[in-house]
Amino acid sequence: MKIRHTLGALCAFAVAGSLCAQTADNIDHAKAAKEFEKFRAEMEDSNPAELNELKGEELWKAKRGPKNVSLAESCDLGLGIGKLEGAYVQMPRYFKDADAVMDAERRIVWCMVEKQGFKFADIAKKPFQSPNDSSAPDITNLVMYVAGHSRGKPFAVNLKDPKVREVYEIGKEVAHYRAGPYDFACSTCHGVDGKRIRMQDLPNINSKEGATKAVMGWPAWRMTGGVALTLQWRMNDCFRQQRFPEPKYASDTITALLTYMTANANGVVYKGPGIKR
């Protein structure tokens, strides 16, 4: 992998930043959305996320942790130890060694704990990059690297596996579960086509098209704050806005939601890691 036009991309982001600031005020919504899409299409070949993928590659191949082994020589993402091509788009999947359905991020964490000897609590202490952090956590870079090896391959969550199917059905229930002070569920905002909050379009995660919009492009480099983030973070922030307590990192509930959404996008070709607003 090589970094293409990264300097040019970073300069262009300054322009995009002011564009986004204006959208909140008075640029016509459709026009603003179109401008952003155009910008994103131009930038897709020079995504700063490529830097994260490069760091992820180093981390994947390096002997690390108390057990001093590499993930490349110990971690099975479902297709055999060290095999990366197409692994991301086939997760969440059932892993016999863990007796659990796991999404990609959770599986990599599992490998870091079980194979390399890292402590889960240490990884879970700060799993996401904040706008004031100079770099992304190792786990984010690893997810970026793994996801990059599924570019151009269709989402293929195996719903024929009864264990995956059950988690999918539970995820559907989680998506529709209303609670909390505002009576919100995921589906309050993401349950019908064509809605938006303020200027932000809301994909309907129950539909193929909407679920595709929700999972496509993640993990992503996000222009807001200039941070690299994963779907685990996206779910965390949705629950925050839903006024729920905080979901535990890499938990069953998050896997269930990601199983539901990703499987709803089955068949669609993955393009990512991407750029998000």
Which residue ranges make up the site for another protein (CB under 8 A)?
23-26, 28-29, 166, 169-174, 176-185, 188-189, 194-200, 202, 239-241, 243-248, 251-254, 256
Roughly how many angstroms between the first and final C-alpha of the chain, as a whole number? 24
Q: Which two structure tokens, joined as six digits, stand for 231?
A: 């779907």
Cβ nearer to another protein, comparing 84 with 261: 261
Q: Give the shortest CB-141-to-another protein separation in angstroms.
A: 25
> How far is 97 from 181, CA to CA, in rounded Å?
40
Q: Give the shortest CB-32-to-another protein separation in angstroms.
A: 10
Cβ nearer to another protein, comparing 60 with 110: 110
> How far is 99 from 131, CA to CA, in rounded Å?
36
Taking Cα atoms as reference points, which of 85, 120, 108, 113 lies closest to residue 231? 108
Please give the backbone phi and psi of residue 70, each rounded to the nearest 5 degrees, phi first: -95, 155
Cβ nearer to another protein, comparing 223 with 257: 257
Q: Give the shortest CB-225-to-another protein separation in angstroms.
A: 14
Tell me whether the omega of the peptide bond preceding residue 245 falls within 30 degrees of 0, making it cis: no
Cβ nearer to another protein, comparing 13 with 177: 177
Residue 270 gets which letter from DSSP?
Answer: P
* Residues catalogued as catalytic: 238
Q: Give the shortest CB-182-to-another protein separation in angstroms.
A: 4
Rg of the Cα atoms in the chain = 18
